[in-house]
């Protein structure tokens, strides 16, 4: 069961300071994988345990889930993993601006809250301003991974990313999807979708060397 909160409510519009890299990780020189909307953090907890050559940060708008994820992280003594509570579209840009350019090497947005009604589209997580902030933080080769089990959710995300002209998509064919998650672990929602034989739409983007097409991004 998805548990929505309204990211446009006054409470969630208050900026929250995300700690700097030196306060998040033991080794600040490792590349960063940012998971936006990490929920309980199970995906990152497993991934950080398996691959210690990356730093992992999960951000989540539901603070109770962040507190629970941090307890699990501390229990496992994972120095390359942390979690932060915030609204990505309000607080993330300021944190991204504190990073050394190119330190952010991968971003994943997996099974975001769907907000099906058209008048609620502005509540969806991947808004033009957030995409622009990510693009500015990426060097060529950095990855953006998107997946959902709802086509009407992932299609606008893909259209927005494509409109920037800053990414090369895998697979290249618009009518094909990645058969498997490119990582060694899967999310809780992904487990549920696979167990119930639901179609999962997956796309992996890599930052190219193109300049940003601002008119393409913000016309949406």
Active site residue 113: yes
Q: Give the span between the Cα atoms of 109 and 95, in whole angstroms.
A: 17
From the candidates 23, 74, 113, 179, give the one annotated as an active-site residue. 113
* Whether the bond into 78 is cis, omega within 30 of 0: no
DSSP 120-169: GGGGSS--HHHHHHHHHHPPTT-EEEEEES-HHHHHHHHHHHHHHT-EEE
Residue 82, classed as helix, strand or coil, is strand
> What residue has token string 């697979």?
171
Catalytic residue annotation: 113
């Amino acid at each position: 069961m998805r548990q929505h909160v309204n990211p446009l409510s006054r409470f969630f519009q208050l900026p929250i300071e995300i700690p700097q890299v030196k306060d998040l990780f033991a080794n600040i020189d490792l590349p960063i994988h940012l998971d936006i909307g990490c929920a309980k953090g199970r995906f990152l907890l497993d991934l950080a345990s398996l691959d210690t050559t990356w730093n992992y940060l999960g951000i989540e708008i539901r603070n109770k889930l962040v507190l629970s994820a941090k307890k699990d992280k501390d229990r496992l003594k994972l120095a390359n993993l942390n979690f932060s509570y915030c609204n990505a579209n309000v607080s993330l840009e300021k944190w991204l601006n504190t990073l050394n350019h190119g330190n952010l090497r991968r971003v994943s947005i997996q099974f975001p809250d769907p907000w099906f009604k058209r008048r609620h589209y502005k509540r969806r997580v991947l808004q033009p301003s957030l995409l622009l902030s990510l693009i500015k933080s990426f060097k060529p080769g950095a990855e953006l991974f998107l997946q959902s089990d709802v086509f009407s959710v992932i299609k606008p995300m893909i259209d927005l990313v494509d409109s920037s002209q800053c990414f090369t998509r895998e697979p290249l064919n618009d009518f094909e999807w990645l058969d498997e998650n490119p990582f060694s672990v899967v999310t809780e929602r992904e487990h549920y979708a696979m167990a119930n034989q639901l179609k999962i739409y997956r796309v992996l983007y890599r930052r190219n060397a193109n300049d940003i097409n601002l008119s393409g991004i913000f016309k949406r």
